Amino acid sequence: MPDWWCRERKPQNDNVYFENMCRVIFEAGLNWQVIDDKWAATRKAFSNFEVNRVASFTNSDVQRLLNDAGIVRNKSKIEGIIKNAKRFQVIEKVFGGFRGYIDSLDKSNNYAAAVKDLTSKFERLGPSSATLYLYTVGEDIKPF
């Protein structure tokens, strides 16, 4: 099991939830080893996935990231991650944190409604990546 998966413990804060989501998004369609090899540079480029910092990224930050050879330079994923940081801020206001949001979701039928809610709220998160994401943050979902 990868060390970034929170299977034995729930993520400590929203930044950890956010980083896991970003990692799942970056891995979609790519070899996990490529992402693993670039993750230290990706963390640095994205301000250690501090939600409030990433939410304040501007178009010049997008350009900076697109010029960073140390990370996966996919414009739609980069822009989606910035939008997702802004969504995390809204969720924090409404639910008091991402854990509160996750706890509010319908988890019946192997999380079908929860997956649907995640895919409707977050950019670049489809049904299979939303399912994997929930698994990586310690939810009792059967991913595959």
Please tell me whether residue 73 adopts helix, strand or coil conformation: coil
pLDDT of residue 56: 98
For the packed helices 14-27 and 32-45, what is the interaxial angle rounded to 10 degrees?
Answer: 140
Cα-based torsion angle of the residue sequence 122, 126, 131, 136 in order, rounded to the nearest 10 degrees: -60
Global pTM? 0.96
State the Cα angle at 102 between 52 and 143, rounded to 5°. 110
Q: Over range 66-78, report the average pLDDT.
A: 97
CATH superfamily, region 14-136: Hypothetical protein; domain 2 (1.10.340.30)
The full set of domain ranges for the chain reads 14-136
Task: Render pLDDT for 76-120 as a digit per residue (tens, 0 to 9).
Answer: 999 999 999 999 999 999 999 999 999 999 999 999 999 999 999
Task: Render pLDDT for 10-67 as a digit per residue (tens, 0 to 9).
Answer: 999 999 999 999 999 999 989 899 999 999 999 999 999 999 999 999 999 999 999 9
